A and B are shown apart, each in its own frame.
Chain A
Amino acid sequence: EAQVTQNPRYLITVTGKKLTVTCSQNMNHEYMSWYRQDPGLGLRQIYYSMNVEVTDKGDVPEGYKVSRKEKRNFPLILESPSPNQTSLYFCASSPNRGGFGEQFFGPGTRLTVL
């Protein structure tokens, strides 16, 4: 089944404890992206990747890191999480640059930073 998977689905952590949210797609898509969703703010793009080893900042990259060492994986790293990073996170992938192809979203990761 074609899908985007994210792990974990739920995470409660404490300020400053490094964490990684994994994202994997099995559709051989080139484009991958991370978003955060907050009430009243909609979805905001954190980082995106056009292909392996090619990543770029979205609108809200502060406090996050990403890497794209393999085509299928695009982990989101929070080196020192803070409470303002409590949010719902989505990973998405697309067969080509977002505008040309539909974005397929993962199920979301609910992160709480205490």
Chain B
Amino acid sequence: AQTVTQSQPEMSVQEAETVTLSCTYDTSENNYYLFWYKQPPSRQMILVIRQEAYKQQNATENRFSVNFQKAAKSFSLKISDSQLGDTAMYFCAFTTNTGNQFYFGTGTSLTVIP
């Protein structure tokens, strides 16, 4: 069974500081894709960053980067220079190369404090 676990229901960070959100997953597949989605109060789902499991290099998108540890099945999101607009729910998600299903974690609610 494929599962995604986010063990931090809520987090907060001071503006301009760095915060790391944790995600672990479980799969027996070797090829898969991992994602972080952001859901601001508007409820719109926005893709933040994506990582292909076969790539060794960690993905980065501006202030967002991931720490992908394949052996540990860990996929954490680091947000640098946190901004008020980063306040949102963040979901870790996963899909396999062979399957067509998507699996989401339960989410981490991040608050950026001015």
Q: Which residues of A contact B (CB under 8 A)?
A: 31, 33, 35, 40-45, 48, 50, 56, 58-59, 88, 90, 92, 97-100, 102-103, 105, 107-108
- Cross-interface CB contact of B45 among A44, A56, A105, cutoff 8 Å: A105
29 A-B pairs with CB atoms under 8 Å apart are: A31-B100, A33-B102, A35-B102, A40-B106, A42-B4, A42-B6, A42-B91, A42-B104, A42-B105, A43-B91, A43-B102, A43-B104, A44-B104, A45-B101, A48-B102, A50-B100, A56-B100, A58-B101, A58-B102, A59-B101, A90-B45, A92-B45, A98-B101, A98-B102, A99-B32, A99-B96, A99-B97, A102-B50, A105-B44
A92 contacts across to B, CB distance below 8 A: 45
Classify chain B's interface size: 20 to 34
Q: Which 4 A-B pairs have the closest CB atoms?
A: A105-B45, A99-B33, A43-B104, A42-B106
Q: Given known contacts A105-B44, A107-B43, A107-B44, is B91 in contact with A48 (CB within 8 Å)? A: no
